[in-house]
Chains A and B, each alone.
Chain A
Amino acid sequence: MPLLNVLLTAAPAAASSASNYFPIGLQLLFAIGFVATMMVGTHLLGPKRRTGDKLENFASGIESHGDARQPMAIKYFLVAILFVLFDVEVIFFYPYAVNFRGLGWSGFWSVLMFVGFFAVGFFYIIKKGALQWED
Chain B
Amino acid sequence: MNAIILSAIWGVVLMFCSVLIKNKGVYRHIAALGLLVILAGNIHETYHGSFFNIDTHEMLRFSRFGLFFNTILLAATLLYVLLSGRDVEKAGGYVAEYFTLIFFVLCGASILTSFNTLLMLFIGIEILSIPLYILTGSDKRNLRSNEAALKYFLMGAFSTGILLMGIALVYGGTGSFMLEVPRSAIMGGYKGVSFLEVTGLLFLLVAMSFKVSAAPFHFWTPDVYDGAPSVFTSFMATIVKAAAFAAFLKLFEARVGDTSAAVDWKLLLSIIIVSTLLIGNVTAVFQQSVKRMLAYSSIAQAGFMLFAVFSLNDVAKEGLLLYATAYSLATIGVFAVLIKMKDVTFEGFNGLARKNPVLAATTTICLLSLAGIPLTAGFFAKFSMLSAVIKTGTYTWLVVVAVLFAAVSAYYYFRVIQAMYFKEGDAQTEEVTGGFKVLLIAVAALVILFGVQPQALLNWFYF
A residues in contact (CB < 8 Å) with B: 117, 120-121, 123-124, 127-128
Contacts and interface: CB of A to CB of B under 8 A. Distances in A.
Given A123-B16, A127-B19, 5 more contacts: A117-B12, A120-B15, A120-B16, A124-B18, A124-B19
Q: Which 4 A-B pairs have the closest CB atoms?
A: A127-B19, A124-B15, A120-B12, A124-B19
B15 to A, nearest CB: 5
A88 to B, nearest CB: 14
Contacts of B18: 124, 128
B359 to A, nearest CB: 38
Interface size class of B (residues with CB under 8 A): under 10
B19 A128 contact: yes
Interface string B11-51: 01001101100000000000000000000000000000000
14 contacts: A117-B12, A120-B12, A120-B15, A120-B16, A121-B15, A123-B16, A123-B19, A124-B15, A124-B16, A124-B18, A124-B19, A127-B19, A128-B18, A128-B19
A128 B18 CA distance: 9
Nearest to B55: A106
Contacts of A121: 15
Nearest to A120: B12
A123 B12 CA distance: 11
Contacts of A127: 19
Nearest to A124: B15
A124 B16 CA distance: 7
Contacts of B16: 120, 123-124
B99 to A, nearest CB: 14
A118 to B, nearest CB: 11
A117 to B, nearest CB: 7
Nearest to B19: A127
Nearest to A116: B12
A121 B11 CA distance: 11
A9 to B, nearest CB: 36
Contacts of B12: 117, 120
A121 B97 CA distance: 12
B123 to A, nearest CB: 14
A24 B15 CA distance: 46
Contacts of A117: 12
A46 B194 CA distance: 62
A61 B15 CA distance: 53
A59 to B, nearest CB: 37
A123 B19 CA distance: 9
Nearest to A128: B19
A124 B20 CA distance: 10
A21 to B, nearest CB: 25
A127 B96 CA distance: 14
A135 B16 CA distance: 22
Nearest to A127: B19
Interface string B192-216: 0000000000000000000000000
A127 B15 CA distance: 10
Nearest to A117: B12
Contacts of B15: 120-121, 124
